[in-house]
Amino acid sequence: MEQPVMALVLGLVAVGTLIWVFWPKKGLLARLGKVRMSSQRVLLEDTLKYLFDCEYKGIACNLNSAAGNLNISADQMAKLMAHLKDMGLVVFEGHNIHLTDTGKSYALRIVRVHRIWERFLADETGVQHMDWHGEADIQEHQLSLEEANRIAARMGNPAFDPHGDPIPSTEGEIPPFSGRPLSSLKEGEVAQIVHIEDEPHYIFEQLSALGLYPGMQVYQLDVQQGKITFAADGNECVLTPLFASAITVQPLPKAEPIQEGYQRLSELQPDETANIVGISSYCRGLQRRRLMDFGIVPGNSITAELRSASGDPVGYRILGTTIAIRKDQANLIFINNIKKEQHEQSA
């Protein structure tokens, strides 16, 4: 009696397993197929985005450069390119690869979603700036163009992302690329940062640590083999040519070189008072609004009062209230007219 029951149970388990594996649309194989299709689509879209970036900047693109950018083998990239060609999205001219009009339109949609999401994270959330690009890399494949357009409309249809890149319009229009790498400036030239490359991550991390951001004015101090020295907001910065080439600048031939800039709030010592000049444009979104709510606005006076045991954060007195500000936030607040507080002595 037990053997027929056991056989029945095993049979039901086997049938259930087969159903779970082969069930149309919801079975294991169907789900794995969706994952493979999704991964394939991400690779295709990343390839189109890379091709667009190359064409936008006037850089030739071939199989090896595309494979290196996506960190896949040349054979895998060859298959991807063949698929894109069959879809009518790319054409080959010798060793170089170019987008068709349809391919460019597709790429611009991806770029628009990516840059809108970065702008949203920068202006409307507390997400750290080092995470903007990675989050947008995910959302560009998941967020529909219609959803991205609604988000852009709520933000007033911004023209640029937080790194300085133009956001393609709803009609797929984008201004031509302009500017040159910081590494190409000669000694004594003055320029304005218009873009900071957010890839690779380790370069963007270093540039962010220096407090560089689009809109900042720079003055080339010294150019040597393997080392470029420049001033930014009055602070001297040193980069290798590789890192300096990740910064795009627009020369300002008629501008006066900035030898001395405003000091940063983080430089204010205990019992010193200064006037607030402004907040760096690199400070955005909720963080900027929170500082302004505390009274961090041009013209207000601020005094360093208390320093924590670790030295960070520091207590600052402003508008009759003491607030704690971390060093990374204080680095983004510009001040001038530093004076030592005079304490009254008892008779």
Domain CATH code at residue 278 = 2.30.30.90
Q: Is 329 helix (H, G, I), strand (E, B) or coil?
A: helix
Same domain, residue pair 282 and 341: yes
Please, which pLDDT band fits residue 45 given cuts at 50, 70 and 90? very high
- Strand pairing report for 263-264 and 333-340: antiparallel
Assigned token pair, 241: 């040519």
Q: CA distances (Å), 260 to each of 236, 312, 322, in order?
A: 10, 26, 30
Burial of 303 (0-12, 13-18, 19+ CB in 10 A): middle
pLDDT tens across 180-195, in order?
999 999 988 888 888 8
Choice among 72-76, 166-170, 257-261 with the minimum mean pLDDT: 257-261
Write down the pLDDT at residue 256.
47
Q: What percent of the chain has pLDDT over 70?
A: 83
Write down the pLDDT at residue 332.
81
pLDDT tens across 262-275, in order?
788 888 888 899 98
pLDDT score of 30 more than 90: no
Last residue of a domain, one of 197, 216, 251: 251
Burial of 305 (0-12, 13-18, 19+ CB in 10 A): middle
Q: H or E stretch including 279?
A: strand 272-279
Q: Range of 270's domain?
A: 263-345
Q: What is the CA radius of gyration of the chain?
A: 27
For residue 217, being part of any structural domain is answered with: yes
Same domain, residue pair 246 and 272: no
The structure's pTM equals: 0.66
Same domain, residue pair 233 and 291: no
Average pLDDT over residues 311-329: 87
Opening angle at CA 10, ends 5 and 13, nearest 5: 125
Backbone angles phi, psi at 64, to 5 degrees: -65, -40
pLDDT score of 28 more than 70: no
The total of structural domains in the chain comes to 2
DSSP result, 56-87:
HHT----HHHHHHHHT--HHHHHHHHHHHHHT
Same domain, residue pair 331 and 274: yes
Same domain, residue pair 221 and 271: no
Same domain, residue pair 246 and 271: no
For residue 239, being part of any structural domain is answered with: yes
Q: H or E stretch including 323?
A: strand 321-325
For residue 184, being part of any structural domain is answered with: yes
* b/e map 48-73, b = 16+ CB within 10 Å: bbbbbbbbbeeeebbbebbbebbebe
For residue 44, being part of any structural domain is answered with: no
Same domain, residue pair 221 and 270: no
Last residue of a domain, one of 204, 220, 251: 251
Q: What is the 3-state secondary structure (H, E, C) of 186-255?
A: CCCCEEEEEEECCCCHHHHHHHHHCCCCCCCEEEEEEEECCEEEEEECCEEEEECHHHHCCEEEEECCCC
For residue 46, being part of any structural domain is answered with: no
Write down the pLDDT at residue 202.
86
Assigned token pair, 346: 């008892």
Last residue of a domain, one of 251, 279, 312: 251
Q: By the 8 A CB rule, do 307 and 270 touch?
A: yes
